[in-house]
Amino acid sequence: MTDRTMVRALATSAVLALGVLLSGCNGDAISPTAKATKPIPEKLLAEIEAKNMDKGSPMLVRLFKQEAELEVWKQDRTGHFALLKTYPICRWSGDLGPKIKEGDRQAPEGFYSITPAQMNPQSAYYLSFNMGYPNAYDKSWGRTGSQLMVHGDCSSRGCYAMTDEQISEIYALGRESFFGGQSAFQVQAYPFRMNAQNMAKYRNNPNMPFWKMIKEGNDHFEVTKQEPKVDFCEKKYVFDAQKPANSTRPLTFNASAQCPAYEIPQDIADAVREKERQDDAKIAQLVGRGTPVARSRAGIDGGMHPIFASKLPEGEAAIDKDVTDYAVASYLPAPGTVPSHATIPRAPEAPMFGSSSSSGEPMVAVSTPAPDTSATNTTSSSSNESFLSRLSRSVGLRRDPAPAPTTVAAASKPVKPVTQKAKSVAHAKPAESRPAEPRVIPLDKTQQAQAQPKSVFPEPARAAAPPAQQSIAGAQAPVPSNSFDSRWSTVR
C-alpha cells in the first residue's frame, strides 16, 4: 500500500512539472518557484485536522458570482465532502450568465475538471489554475474562449481573481490533493447560490433554463455530499448517470449526439426529486407574495466582495446591499493585499461590446420608457401664446382649435402562468428532440427589452392603473399670479 502511494505521488509530481511547461496564463515555461511549493499555513492545517480531514484528501471548489465567494470543500474521513473554508472573491468580470465567446469578459459558469497539467505556477497573476473552458457542453454550442483562470492579483478579464495570499492557499490545497492521489478536482461555477430566494428573484432572466440545468448538479452534490459524475449529451449536462441494470454495454456520451439509455441511482434520484419539489414550492410561494424581480445589472462589469470594495475609494457603490452587509464588511480586515490597480465594478461610460443582437452577450436589462412630455409641451405652448391672441379669443374674435382626439390603448390580455410538469430524474430515457439553445440577450437595452421573456412563474395580481385625467377642451394652462397676464386680467 505504501509503495502504491509513493508511485502515485511521484507520478503526480511529474505531471505537475509537465504542467509548468504546458500551462500558459501569461507565464514563462520555467521550473516551479518557491511560491508554487509554499506549504499550507499551519492555521489552515489545524482546521483540516479539526474537521476530520486529511491534508491530501480530495478537494472540490464551488464559485458563486453574485455573492462573490469561493468555497473549498474537502473529503473528510467518513468519505463525504465538507466545507473547509470560504474565500471572498476579490474580482470577477462580466455579468451573471455563462460565457459565450472570446472577448465577452464573461467568467464561465458550469462544471469543470482541473487536472495537474492545468495548474500554472508561473502565472503572471502570482499563481493560477486553468478552469478548462470550454468544456464539452460549451463546445457543443459553439462557444469560444481560452485561458479562463482562477488566479491572484485581484484583476479580471473573464476570470475569478483572488488576492495573492488567497490563491497561494487554494493552489497549495489543490497541489496536496494531487499528491494524495486525486487525479482531478471539480469546479462548480454558479451565478448565485442556487436557493429558492435567488431562483425567484431571477425568474425572468433569459439564462434561467441554463441555470435550472446546472442547479440539478448542485442538488446532486447537496443531497449526497459527493462529487457528482458529469457527462454531456444532446447539448446538455447529465449528472450521476449509470448504465441500466440489464445492460452489459458501457455508457458512451457525446455532447452533440443523442443520449444513451441510462439511469440514475434510485436513492440519489429520490433525494434530488424531493429537494426539487421543496424548492419549487418555495419559489411559487415567494412569487405569490410579490417577491420583486432582481434589478438589472446590464453594463456593470462584474463584481467584488464587499470586504474588498469597502477598502477602495467609492467602493460602496459596487456593493449589492441586498446580498451582503456592507457595514459588517467595512470593519473586517481584507484577507490579503488589495493591489492599487484594483477597480470597483461600474457601468462603462461607452458600450463595451457591439449593440447588435448577434453579439451573444448574456446581459439582462429592463428598458426604461421615455418620460411623457405631452403635458409639459402643452403648458409651454400655452405660456408662449401672445397676449393679443388670448385677448382676441376672449372677446370672440378668435376660436380655439379643435382638441386632438384621445387615443386609448387596447388593454393587453392577461398572460396565463405556465405550469411545469414534474420531472423524474430516475431511469432517464433518451430524449426524442434536442433542447433549444439557451437564450442570450444582447447588451443594447432596446433589444434587451424586446427579448425579455415572460416569467415561468405566476405573478401576483396587480391593481389596474387609474385612467389618465383628460383636460377640458379649451382650458387654459395655469399661469403665475404675479405674471404680466394676471395683471391685465380686468381687460379681458
CA distance 241 to 311: 46
Taking the mean position of all CA atoms in its chain, how far away is CA 232? 21
- Nearest CA-CA partner of 110 in 134, 90, 78: 134
Bridge partners (DSSP) listed for residue 119: 129
* C-alpha torsion 95→98→100→101, nearest 10: 70
CA distance 137 to 232: 6
Q: Which of 25, 151, 233, 259 is catalytic?
A: 151
Amino acid at 253: F
427 is catalytic: no
Contact between 55 and 45 under an 8 Å Cβ cutoff? The reply is yes
Contact between 250 and 422 under an 8 Å Cβ cutoff? The reply is no
CA distance 448 to 441: 6
Q: Which of 25, 90, 154, 159 is catalytic?
A: 159
The secondary structure of 389-438, three-state, reads HHHHHHCCCCCCCCCCCCCCCCCCCCCCCCCCCCCCCCCCCCCCCCCCCC
CA distance 42 to 46: 6
Contact between 161 and 153 under an 8 Å Cβ cutoff? The reply is yes
159 is catalytic: yes
Instruction: Give me 46's grid cell.
Output: 489545524
Give, for 12, the enclosing helix (H) or strand (E): helix 2-22
Bridge partners (DSSP) listed for residue 60: 73, 186
| Active site amino acids | 151, 159
